[in-house]
Amino acid sequence: MQAEREGALNTEETTHRVKPASVTRIEPRIGPLTRIRELLRYRELLGNLIRKELKVKYKNSALGFAWSLLNPLLYLVIFSIVLQEFLGAGLPAFPFYLLTGLLAWNLLSNGLAGATGSIVSNSNLVSKVYFPREILPAASIGAAVVHYVLQLFVLVAAMLLFGWFRHWDQGMVLLPLALLVQLVLLVGLALLMSSANVYMRDVQHLLELALLAWFWMTPIVYASGWVQQNLMNKSPLMWAVYLQNPMAPIVMGYQRALYARPELRAGDAHVLVNAPLEWYAKRLGWTGLVAVAILMVGWTAFRRLETRMAEEL
């Protein structure tokens, strides 16, 4: 009996000591402002990741950052030959026109492509260490911005060297505005695509096709003035629909700032959209509102999807 009582007591004590382990699920439910402050606290990590992206890309490369200039130069040679020599496009200073839009497009395509795969490619980091996951797509965008700034300096230097600066006027104020709107748009799309790519890897392949179609819907290799004239002759509604592409007003803003004034003509048509500076600023303003809406949608989706990213990876 004594042994049975001791056994019962031991079983009771063991049961008392070994309680079922409680599982606490920690989910980020902090507000946007708190999240922004948290992101600012991790700005040093962001800088390190941007430097890492740049170093890895040009590791053991003899030319280094010079390679970032070869891509637009190759486009420049190909399109100059095809459009000017074979098709007779005849745009004044076509290399400057092309590069003004192409560099902006490369900022979008390179930043978005890098950001979309950033979380998957850093799966080891995501599953082991806590940090705001937004840092990863932001680092890819930061590296793309560094490339864009370097290429833009080269373009501006070439314009100064060949005397094209005589076409600059107060339209230069559109340059920072276009860049700001584009970055807001890029961050919003990057957050949306990078989080979706964790759950559906087809997203990064679909993005390549979408970028190809998007490129030709944007006035980079053809004159925006020609598009305006042709579409307005058919239907003003078609011109209004064309402007709903957010990259179209952004590229037009860059072209108005760096390339030329609206009076510049190629044959019977204007090269740029024949409109006052206020029209360009207003179109960028509307596009900026759309970009902010995309940013809010993208960030909301990212924060909802990030809770299970480590499990999916």
Q: Is the Cβ–Cβ distance between 83 and 94 less than 8 Å?
A: yes
Give residue 245's pLDDT: 95
Q: Give which of 260, 254, 93 is closest to 168, Cα–Cα.
A: 260
Q: What is the DSSP letter of 268?
A: T
Residue type, 293: A
Give residue 27's pLDDT: 52
Give residue 124's pLDDT: 84
Long-range Cβ contacts of 59-62 (<8 Å, 24+ apart):
none
Owner of token pair 């040679």: 77
Average pLDDT, the chain: 83
Give residue 268's pLDDT: 76
Q: What is the pLDDT of residues 182-195, one digit of tens each?
A: 999 999 999 999 99
Helices (H), 84-134: 94-116, 118-121, 123-128
Span 255-272, average pLDDT: 82
Instruction: In whole angstroms, give the CA distance from residue 146 to residue 143.
Output: 5
Span 110-131, average pLDDT: 88
Range from 17-31, 82-96, 165-179 carrying the lowest mean pLDDT: 17-31
Task: Give the pLDDT band (50/70/90) at residue 86.
Answer: low
Instruction: In whole angstroms, give the CA distance from residue 159 to residue 119.
Output: 39
- Output the pTM of the full model: 0.83
Span 139-160, average pLDDT: 90
Q: What is the pLDDT of residues 35-84, one digit of tens each?
A: 888 888 988 989 999 888 888 777 766 666 677 777 767 777 776 677 66
Give residue 251's pLDDT: 96
Beta pairing partners, 269: 266
Instruction: In whole angstroms, give the CA distance from residue 145 to residue 83.
Output: 29
Percent of the chain with pLDDT over 70: 84
Label residue 202 exposed, middle or buried (CB < 10 Å: 0-12, 13-18, 19+).
exposed
Instruction: In whole angstroms, give the CA distance from residue 126 to residue 113.
Output: 19
Range from 60-74, 129-143, 174-188, 283-297 carrying the lowest mean pLDDT: 60-74
Give residue 190's pLDDT: 95
Q: Indicate if the pLDDT at residue 114 is higher than 70.
A: yes
